[in-house]
Amino acid sequence: MALRNRAPQPSAADIANQSQLQEEVEIQQAFEAGITTLRDLISPSSIEIHSDYFRLGTKYGRTLYVYGYPRTLVTGWLSSIINIDEVIDISMYIYPVDTTIVMKNLTKKVTQLEASASIDQEKGRVRNPELEAAISDAEELRDQLQVGAEKFFRYGLYITIYADNLDELQFVQHKIENIFGQQMVFSKVASSQQEQGMNSTMPQCSDQLQIRRNMNTGAISTSFPFTSADLTQEKGILYGVNMHNNGLVIFDRFTLENANMVVFAKSGAGKSFTVKLEAIRSMMVGTEVIIIDPENEYQKLCDAVGGSYIRLSLNSDVRINPFDLPKVIDAEDSGDALRTNLTTLHGLFRIMLGDKEAGLNPVEEAALDQALIDTYARAGITNDPLTHNSQPPTMINLFDTLQHMGDPGPSLAQRLRKYTTGTFAGIFSQQSNIDINNQMVVFNIRDLEEELRPIAMYIVLSHVWSIIRAQQKRRLLLVDEAWQLMQYEDSANFLFSLAKRARKYNLGLTTITQDVEDFMSMKMGRAIVANSSMQLLLKQSATAVDVLSDVFKLTDEERKRLSNFPVGQGLFFAGQNHVHIQVIASEQEEQLITTNPNASNTP
């Protein structure tokens, strides 16, 4: 009989231990695999659901739904919620409804409403305006659906708000409800449905609340969600606070297709304050600023920053020669420098010598043209760029040339006499003696006689334009009370020419006026606005609102606001975007730019 060795049988305890070890290994593997999934990475540490709020980790949340709407919704009514400076999630659910079903229900509803109205009339009851409005609305909607002009939808709007604690959550809820309440839109907390509300506002397209309202195409379109009005860039200067969402409006106007800007406001609305604030902040980033100041509003700022303040008056020693030519210009313009300046001088002398309405007649135009060419030639200046460094002639030289010409030269000379040897002699009839090599230069024309003001603005702009073309830098040119230039066709054309060509020379033209109706009634005025990528509309008079709303395609709500803005608030347009802005200055900035000693830190 053979004997065989038999392996020892494992005990029950050994089997149990091995099973436990294997289970622990499997658990460890499952755990290690679990922590590497995206789901585990983005999931909160915990979720607590309560009747009127929920808690995700350390954050508190609450879902509200909208259940009531006014009879009429204005376009953009939801933008104030979308742009609110709080952490919120918004979900809209839109379900199309078959038109035939809606037509049947509407027909039934109209029949019921008309029956109720008929019963009230038979019983002699007082007319019910609400019932009449309901019948009218239902009939109008039925007509629109019948011709296919409208569609019908079921619309659900849910908002989930977040905060760090319950008190803050209550504050945000109150804020949301106030904004809605101002527009007669009513919301409620999703009581005992916070989990469903949270899921409904998550990006998983799951409408678990199912609280909907009937709406037609027009009403749905007013809820267009992509209306965020954010004008914040990484680079630029601070213009103010975005009143839509309390964000900052930080913008670089030179990033637009052109850097031109128009500022419209009634007197006292804060336009000078705003423009001066932009000027001082632009200087901080290296931009040069040139200002034409008709009312002596910029001297304090100019002195504070060490700028050049040039006071133009018949009693001052300042001289600007309109015959000056640019010293250095680019190759493209080098051959046309003289011709360009001759064109500018034609416009100037039409203002100085001609009638405000008729200007000069063709014979006088021809004589003036020949006289200007001859005057430059006698100074040794021709179309050859090598001759342009010669000393330019003056208005006195032009007077002598006209004096010795045939008719109508002597007649033009006599009309020019008051600017050469007469009442207005000196200021524009001698060689220039000014230097504008400074980061801020202000030309003050307040002390000039009324008749000389538009002439002075034209000559100063021409002189500045020559310097801008000679040396290209990032510059702002501010023309205050621009309506004075718009009185004459030639000066209006010159200002428009600046607006059109400014981009080429890295210039931003700012046109400021309070006479909006006159400015916008002119062809050149509208052209300047069209060539300005930025616009600022502060508080306006009632008549100006109608003009501007037509030009800028303002909504009814914006039209209402435009005539009721407090000082320093307005509509800020930059390219295709625009926001409601509040201009705010620091205490130090205000001290430099305000003209009101009792002003606060708002304009």
Element (H, E) at 282: helix 271-283
Judged against a pLDDT cut of 60, whether residue 357 lies above it is answered with no
Q: According to the model, what pLDDT value does residue 88 have? A: 92
Judged against a pLDDT cut of 90, whether residue 598 lies above it is answered with no
Judged against a pLDDT cut of 60, whether residue 229 lies above it is answered with no
Q: What is the pLDDT of residues 499-518, one digit of tens each?
A: 888 888 889 999 988 878 77
Which parts of 366-504 are beta strand (E)? 440-444, 475-479
Q: According to the model, what pLDDT value does residue 163 have? A: 93
Positive or negative CA dihedral for 553, 555, 561, 565? negative
Q: According to the model, what pLDDT value does residue 335 have? A: 55
Give the amino acid at 189.
V
Residues facing 490 on adjacent strands: none
Judged against a pLDDT cut of 50, whether residue 603 lies above it is answered with no
Q: According to the model, what pLDDT value does residue 7 have? A: 52
- Please name the fold of domain 259-318+435-597: Rossmann fold (3.40.50)
Q: What is the pLDDT of residues 515-544, one digit of tens each?
A: 787 788 788 888 888 888 888 988 888 888
Q: According to the model, what pLDDT value does residue 176 have? A: 92
Q: What is the pLDDT of residues 39-93, one digit of tens each?
A: 667 778 888 999 999 999 889 999 999 999 887 888 778 877 887 778 899 999 9
Contact 516, 547 (CB under 8 A): yes
Contact 254, 506 (CB under 8 A): yes
Assign 328 a pLDDT band (cuts: 50, 70, 90). low
Q: Sheet holding 569-574: strands in order across?
A: 247-251, 237-242, 577-582, 569-574, 534-537, 261-264, 507-513, 475-479, 288-293, 440-444, 308-311
Say which DSSP state 296 is in: S
Find where tokens 């149990």 sit.
16
What burial letters (b/e) apply to 199-226, b meaning 16+ CB within 10 Å?
A: bbbeeeeebbbebbeebbeebbeebeee
Residues facing 152 on adjacent strands: 97, 216
Give the amino acid at 500.
K
With CA atoms as reference, report the closest residue to 319 among 196, 171, 434, 203: 434
Contact 79, 224 (CB under 8 A): no
* Distance separating alpha carbons of residues 168 and 332, to the nearest angstrom: 63
CA distances (Å), origin 482, targets 38, 345, 493, 535: 61, 20, 12, 15
CA distances (Å), origin 592, targets 131, 429, 440, 444, 589: 61, 35, 14, 18, 5
Domain ranges of the chain: 47-221, 259-318+435-597, 336-433
Phi and psi at 394, nearest 5°, equal -125, 180
Contact 456, 293 (CB under 8 A): no
* Distance separating alpha carbons of residues 216 and 96, to the nearest angstrom: 10
* Distance separating alpha carbons of residues 472 and 481, to the nearest angstrom: 26
- Please name the fold of domain 336-433: Helicase, Ruva Protein; domain 3 (1.10.8)
What burial letters (b/e) apply to 532-549, b meaning 16+ CB within 10 Å?
A: bbbbbbbbbbeebbebbb
* Distance separating alpha carbons of residues 536 and 571, to the nearest angstrom: 6
Cβ burial of 404 (10 Å; 0-12, 13-18, 19+) is: exposed
Q: What is the pLDDT of residues 430-439, one digit of tens each?
A: 888 887 778 8
Q: Angle at the Cα of 277 (from 274 to 283), degrees rounded to 5?
A: 140
Contact 379, 395 (CB under 8 A): no
